[in-house]
Structure 1
Amino acid sequence: MSLPNDPVILLSYINTLLRDNYPSYEELCKSLCIPADDIEKKLNGIGYVYDPNTNSFR
């Protein structure tokens, strides 16, 4: 699966998937076969980190 390259669009895409389809970030990464570090690096670059309490990047 190809993820959006733009970090802001990626943020929206990932948070939507987390909200609608996955109980955790770990489950999302496993399901999509994508290393968690790949997403985290892009989103950390624009100031967002995963919050397990809300199951979203904030």
Structure 2
Amino acid sequence: MVPNDPAILLSFLNTRLRDDGCTLEELCAQLDVEQSGVEDKLAAIGYTYHRERNQFL
């Protein structure tokens, strides 16, 4: 299950991106969530996905 709270979601995703070694696209597919929805939710608290770092900053 994917956390609904944006701050917890941020930590959850960055941890999974780091530990699993997958891209955001791959992780969203594994979790069965829409990537655009995830990015929008985190953008609302000031974070964007950086492909080169493979994390939200």
TM surpasses 0.5: yes
Identity of aligned residues (%): 47
- Following TM superposition, where does structure 1 have runs of at least 4 consecutive aligned residues deviating by more than 6 angstroms? none
Give the deviation of 1:37 after TM superposition. 1.3
Aligned to 2:38: 39
Aligned to 1:16: 15
Cα deviation code 1:2-50 (max 9, x no counterpart):
2112111110000000000132111101111111012111100001000
Rounded to whole Å, the distance in 2 between the matches of 1:17 and 1:9 is 12
Aligned to 1:53: 52
Please give the secondary structure, in 2, of the residue aligned with 1:18. Answer: helix
Runs of at least 5 residues in structure 1 that lack an aligned partner in the other structure: none
Tell me the TM-score normalised to structure 2 length: 0.90
Work out the number of aligned pairs and report it: 57
